[in-house]
Amino acid sequence: MTRLEAIRDAQALLNEPPVEQPKPLRLLAAAAFAATAAVMLAGTMVVGPGVSFDQGSTVSNP
């Protein structure tokens, strides 16, 4: 390997790789996944372990 080839190889390693443009469908899927996870976690916090529902008295119309 010549000195010039070594310099070119080193410069190629220093260059940043091309940036891939974001795909709208992937962004939408990621947002939907995040929203679903947030709703599920909120449900877990409201009705989490140790929560019990007492059997309430029935209401009857007179």
DSSP annotation of 49 reads: T
Q: Which residues of the chain have pLDDT under 70?
A: 44-62
Please state, in angstroms and rounded to a whole number, the distance separating the CA atoms of residues 14 and 59.
Answer: 75
The pLDDT score that the predictor gives to residue 19 is 85
Cα-Cα-Cα-Cα dihedral of 44, 45, 48, 51, to 10°?
A: -140
Report in angstroms the alpha-carbon separations of 24 from 1, 17, 29, 34: 44, 21, 9, 15
Please state, in angstroms and rounded to a whole number, the distance separating the CA atoms of residues 6 and 12.
Answer: 10
The pLDDT score that the predictor gives to residue 6 is 92
pTM of the model: 0.44
The pLDDT score that the predictor gives to residue 1 is 77
The pLDDT score that the predictor gives to residue 20 is 86
